[in-house]
Structures are given as structure tokens and as C-alpha cells.
């Protein structure tokens, strides 16, 4: 049923083509080639309409999705929403509609068993067919009554198993797009806490382990199936009869914002001057913590000042923008860098700056609404930063230049008061020299008379000249961060310049 997309495969004389029963291809509209389909599947667009959830589909539910604009097909027990694929199907829409709302496995096998539909339709996966419950009455098996319930969301679950020396806790998220950054693990004073962030929800395991473990914990994530394995090393080679005693909110699945921020104590490893009032601080995570702050997200740092707990948000940066420093001073999975400006009259920063190397400060789990998928297939990235609003741009810039192959241009416009306030100026200029896709422009609001560069604050003339698509219709993203009036004004101006909401990301407190 799903036609082979390539003209060259199978070869015209092959058995496979013969088996297709002379099925003919229909001309596809412009922009509906296989490459266009692949591009669409990688765009981060929600192709199932389920926002990344996988569901259990009953037969009754499947039958309902039998129209071109709402077409589900089951192949070998997996259900796909093929509506987005209709126009890309080389065999035409009618051919695909033959299996609408039903089990298309046989049709599929008759036509072309060799198509790697699992990979082609990966982003269209809705879920699995539900196994029909079977009722037993007085020893006779009865087929259950047809239920008219809507498709049921599958919530995560967990299991554990052990060998002589290891205990492996397995979390089945049943979700796509779960990666190592989605998993946060802590082990402190016998309490084991594993949290998996799934879209805007969080699944939590929280238990007092039945036996002691060593401090090195390994986390493995199978991204395709959403299976998370957390491997714990036993302290003593004894058999565990149970994992542990449940603690607060154990085995719960709640909205992430309702879970409350969890803090662990981190040690200050180093502090280095960046400018006259800003320093680069390196913090070390506890040995039994697995935590990676996703790009564009921030954490809270918390300390007790005069008997009161004060927490402020900070966005981790890299140790340096210069990737020639091949071997980072500290392994990135255990150390977090912050670039923090000191405000002498501030509530938090003067006390933070008093911390000595070796002192501890509490660090929260990450939050923020930036998604890496916003960078997928991106062609031009514009970054507008003011003062320490530069911090989210650091990892973003590095990630985009390293991982986004479609990217043609990254332009940073960096607003500061004076030349002495510009953070990592040398590193930015060096990066612009060696990386042809990167450009940086500094704008000063309080320049000396020697300054020959751009002057002033964020304005329409500055933006209309700087934030321009180099090619009509190119896929752009504009990220903006700085003092709230700067960010708000910038977003307004960008909208006046006809950039859409999706093309603008303003970094603000969550």
C-alpha cells in the first residue's frame, strides 16, 4: 500500500517490482518529493496531532479515523496517522485510503514489504493497537463488550532487576523524544530520586533504597522507544528483595511546574574574572547526580542570606566559546559554568561572590521553555543579547554551529553600556574570524568618543538593517534576551518587521 519512494529501488526488473502487480505511480505535486517528506519529518512539526504522546488504540477508535484529513492505518500492530503523508505517497492518495481506519498489514505486504515504513513514518506513529480484554465466565472465554472509550494515554511505568553487583531501574516512558537531558537522577543519604521530564510533565521515582549503592550512576536512554535505564552499583554483593520504601510523590506523573524545584548541593570549583563586574563560576555536581541543563534553560542558585533562603535564576554557559580547547578543563557532565554579574546593592550576587572555592551552594533542576526542535532545519539564526542576556546565547550559538547542518548564518547583535562591559569580546571576535557563518556586531549605549561602532539602544532602524533574511522564505529564528524592557521592546519591533511569533523566541523567567 505504501509505495516505494525511490525511482531506482526496487530495480524495474526485480521480483519486488513484479510483486507490486503493476501498480502505477501518480505524479506528485511540486514540493512533495521524498526529500520534502524527510524535511517535514525532521522539522519538529507535530505530525500525529498528539504532541508526541503515544497512545493505545482500540479497534473502535481506529475505524473512526478513516478520512483523508484524519487517516490512521495499522501496520503490524502499530498505528500511524498517514494524513500528513497523503500528498507525498508515490502511489497516490486513493491507494493509501484503501487502508484508512483499518489494519493495512496485508495490503502493505502485497504491494511492497521491503519499504522501511517504520523509519519513513516514524514521526506519524500514534501508538499500538490495544489488546482486547478477554473475560472468563464460568470457564468459557467471552470476547469483551466493544468499548466506546476514546484512545487511552499510556502513562510511564517502571521496573527493576538485578545482577550480583548491579541494580538496573528501568522506566518505560512510552514517549518519543526522551533523551539523556530529560533524565535527572539524585542519590543523597539513601534517598534515590529519578525524574524524567516528558514534554511539560514529569515522571518521578522517589524511594529510600533498601541497600546502599556506590556513587557512580549510569543513565542510558533508548530514544526510539523512550526506555530509560538507570544502573546502580551495589555497595555489597547481596540480593535485594525489594527496591526501597516509597518516599513523597513516588511513581507519580504530574505537570512539571507543579512538582516544585528540587535542589542538590554543588561545590564551587573556580571563579575567573570575565569583565570588571562579571565572573565565570564553575560548580561541581554531587558525584551521584545526573543532570544536564538543556540549551536555553536556566536553573536557580539558592543560598541562605541572614537566615533567609534567596534563589535567583541563572543560565549555564560553556567554559569557553573556543572549541579549539579540545579537552575541556573539567568533564562537561559533572561541571556547570555560570557567567554572573555582580550588583553591589543586589540581594543575591554580593553574597554569592563571597563564596570561597570549596564552598557549597544549592542548584535546582532546570526549567525554561526553549526547545532544541526550534533549531531543526534552521537556515538563519539571529541572536539579540543585552548585558548578561548573552548567557543563553552561548550554548545556543555553539550548538547551532556544531549540529545544525542546514544553518547558513548566525548573527549576534550584542548590546552593552560600554566597551568594558562586553562579555567574551575576544572570544566572539576570534569565532567570527574562524567561522565564516558567524558574524558579531557590538552596540554601545554609553560609548566613549573613541567608539566607532554602532551606538544606542534597540531600535527599528538597527533591527531592520541587521535582522534580514538573506534568501526569501528562508527558515529563521530570532532569539532575544536582556533586561525585560529590552526584550519586550525587541519582540514588538520584530513583529513590526513582520516576523511571526514562531520565528521569535524571547528568553524570560519561566
Cα gap 90→144, rounded to integer Å: 40
CB 383 within 8 A of CB 397: yes
* Residue 339 contact, options ligand NAD, ligand FAD, none, Cβ 5-8 Å cut-off depending on partner type: ligand FAD
Interface with ligand NAD in residues 313-342 (CB under 6 A): 315, 341
Cα gap 389→405, rounded to integer Å: 26
* Residue 389 contact, options ligand FAD, ligand NAD, none, Cβ 5-8 Å cut-off depending on partner type: ligand NAD
Interface with ligand NAD in residues 441-480 (CB under 6 A): 445, 457-458
Whose Cβ is closer to ligand NAD: residue 4's or residue 397's?
397
Whose Cβ is closer to ligand FAD: residue 53's or residue 298's?
298
Helix (H, G, I), strand (E, B) or coil at 40: helix
When binding is defined by CB under 6 A, the residue of 298, 372, 395, 409 that contacts ligand NAD is: 298
Binding-residue pattern over the window 338 to 357 for ligand NAD, x denoting contact by CB under 6 A: ---x----------------
User: What are the distances in angstroms from CA 48 to CA 39, 43, 81, 200, 360?
Assistant: 16, 13, 6, 18, 46
Cα gap 383→432, rounded to integer Å: 14
Tell me which residue has its CB nearest to ligand NAD.
387
Binding window for ligand NAD (CB under 6 A); candidates: 4-12, 21-29, 328-336, 385-393? 385-393
Interface with ligand NAD in residues 419-438 (CB under 6 A): 421
Determine the number of helices (DSSP H) and then strands (DSSP E) in the chain.
11, 30
* Residue 346 contact, options ligand FAD, ligand NAD, none, Cβ 5-8 Å cut-off depending on partner type: ligand FAD
Cα gap 23→106, rounded to integer Å: 16
Cα gap 175→125, rounded to integer Å: 11
Whose Cβ is closer to ligand FAD: residue 365's or residue 391's?
391
Which segments of 20-168 does DSSP mark as H helices, in order?
34-41, 59-64, 93-97, 105-112, 117-120
Interface with ligand NAD in residues 220-249 (CB under 6 A): none
Q: How many residues does the chain have?
A: 510
Residue 57 CB, nearest approach to ligand NAD (Å): 40
| Omega of the bond leading into 268 within 30 degrees of 0 (cis) | no
Q: What are phi and psi of 212, to 5 degrees?
A: -75, 150
Whose Cβ is closer to ligand FAD: residue 334's or residue 351's?
351
Whose Cβ is closer to ligand FAD: residue 52's or residue 346's?
346
Cα gap 228→49, rounded to integer Å: 25
CB 100 within 8 A of CB 65: yes
For ligand FAD, the binding residues (CB under 6 A) are 298, 312-315, 338-341, 343, 345-349, 388, 391, 509
Q: Which uninterrupted H or E stretch holds 115?
A: none
> What is the bridge-based pairing of β-strands 191-198 and 201-209?
antiparallel
* Residue 312 contact, options ligand NAD, ligand FAD, none, Cβ 5-8 Å cut-off depending on partner type: ligand FAD
Residue 329 CB, nearest approach to ligand NAD (Å): 23
Residue 449 β-bridge partners: none
90 binds ligand NAD (CB under 6 A): no
* Residue 340 contact, options ligand NAD, ligand FAD, none, Cβ 5-8 Å cut-off depending on partner type: ligand FAD
Whose Cβ is closer to ligand FAD: residue 341's or residue 457's?
341
DSSP code for 137: E
Binding site for ligand NAD (CB under 6 A): 298, 315, 341, 386-389, 391-392, 415-417, 421, 445, 457-458, 481-483, 485-486, 489, 507-509
Amino acid at each position: 500500500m505504501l509505495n516505494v519512494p525511490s525511482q531506482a529501488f526496487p530495480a524495474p526488473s526485480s521480483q519486488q517490482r513484479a510483486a507490486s502487480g503493476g501498480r502505477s505511480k501518480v505524479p506528485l505535486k511540486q514540493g512533495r518529493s521524498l526529500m520534502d517528506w524527510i524535511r517535514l519529518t525532521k522539522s519538529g512539526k507535530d505530525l500525529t496531532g498528539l504532541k508526541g504522546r503515544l497512545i493505545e488504540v482500540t479497534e473502535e477508535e481506529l475505524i473512526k479515523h478513516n478520512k483523508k484529513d484524519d487517516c490512521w492505518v495499522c501496520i503490524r500492530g502499530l498505528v500511524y496517522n498517514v494524513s500528513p503523508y497523503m500528498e507525498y505517497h508515490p502511489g497516490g492518495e486513493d491507494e493509501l485510503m484503501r487502508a484508512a481506519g483499518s489494519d493495512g498489514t496485508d495490503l502493505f505486504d502485497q504491494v511492497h514489504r521491503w519499504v522501511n515504513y517504520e523509519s519513513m513514518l516514524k514521526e506519524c506513529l500514534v501508538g499500538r493497537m490495544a489488546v482486547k480484554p478477554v473475560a472468563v465466565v464460568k470457564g468459557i472465554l467471552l470476547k469483551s463488550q466493544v468499548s466506546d472509550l476514546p484512545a487511552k494515554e499510556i502513562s510511564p511505568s517502571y521496573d527493576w532487576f538485578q545482577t550480583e553487583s548491579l541494580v538496573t531501574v528501568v522506566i518505560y516512558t512510552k514517549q518519543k523524544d526522551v533523551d539523556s537531558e530529560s533524565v535527572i537522577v539524585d542519590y543523597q543519604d539513601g534517598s534515590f530520586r529519578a525524574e524524567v521530564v516528558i514534554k511539560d510533565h514529569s515522571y518521578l521515582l522517589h524511594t529510600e533504597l533498601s541497600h546502599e549503592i556506590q556513587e557512580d550512576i549510569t543513565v542510558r536512554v533508548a530514544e526510539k522507544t523512550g526506555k530509560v535505564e538507570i544502573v546502580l552499583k551495589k555497595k555489597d554483593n547481596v540480593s535485594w528483595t525489594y527496591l526501597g520504601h516509597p518516599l513523597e510523590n513516588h511513581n507519580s506523573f504530574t505537570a512539571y511546574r507543579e512538582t516544585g524545584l528540587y535542589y542538590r548541593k554543588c561545590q564551587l570549583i573556580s571563579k575567573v574574572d570575565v569583565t570588571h563586574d562579571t565572573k565565570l563560576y564553575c560548580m561541581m555536581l554531587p558525584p551521584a547526580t545526573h543532570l544536564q541543563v538543556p540549551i536555553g534553560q536556566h536553573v536557580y542558585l539558592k543560598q541562605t542570606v541572614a537566615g533567609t533562603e534567596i534563589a535567583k535564576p541563572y543560565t549555564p554557559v560553556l567554559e569557553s566559546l573556543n572549541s579549539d580547547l579540545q579537552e575541556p578543563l573539567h568533564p562537561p557532565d559533572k561541571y556547570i559554568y555560570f557567567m554572573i554579574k555582580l550588583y553591589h546593592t543586589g540581594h543575591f550576587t554580593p553574597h554569592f561572590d563571597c563564596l570561597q572555592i570549596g564552598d557549597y551552594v544549592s542548584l535546582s533542576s532546570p526549567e525554561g521553555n526553549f526547545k532544541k526542535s526550534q533549531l531543526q532545519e534552521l537556515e538563519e539564526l539571529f541572536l539579540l543579547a543585552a548585558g548578561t542576556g548573552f548567557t543563553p546565547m552561548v550554548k545556543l550559538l555553539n550548538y547551532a554551529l556544531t549540529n545544525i547542518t542546514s544553518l547558513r548564518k548566525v548573527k549576534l547583535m550584542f548590546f552593552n553600556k560600554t566597551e568594558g562591559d562586553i562579555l567574551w569580546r575576544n572570544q566572539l571576535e576570534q569565532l567570527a574570524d574562524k567561522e565564516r557563518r558567524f558574524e558579531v556586531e557590538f552596540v554601545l549605549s554609553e560609548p566613549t568618543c573613541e567608539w566607532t561602532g554602532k551606538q544606542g539602544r534597540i531600535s527599528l532602524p538597527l533591527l531592520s538593517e541587521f535582522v534580514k533574511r538573506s534568501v526569501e522564505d528562508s527558515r529563521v529564528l530570532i532569539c532575544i534576551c536582556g533586561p525585560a524592557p529590552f526584550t519586550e521592546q525587541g519582540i514588538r519591533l520584530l513583529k513590526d518587521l513582520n516576523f511571526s511569533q514562531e520565528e521569535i523566541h524571547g528568553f524570560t523567567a519561566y
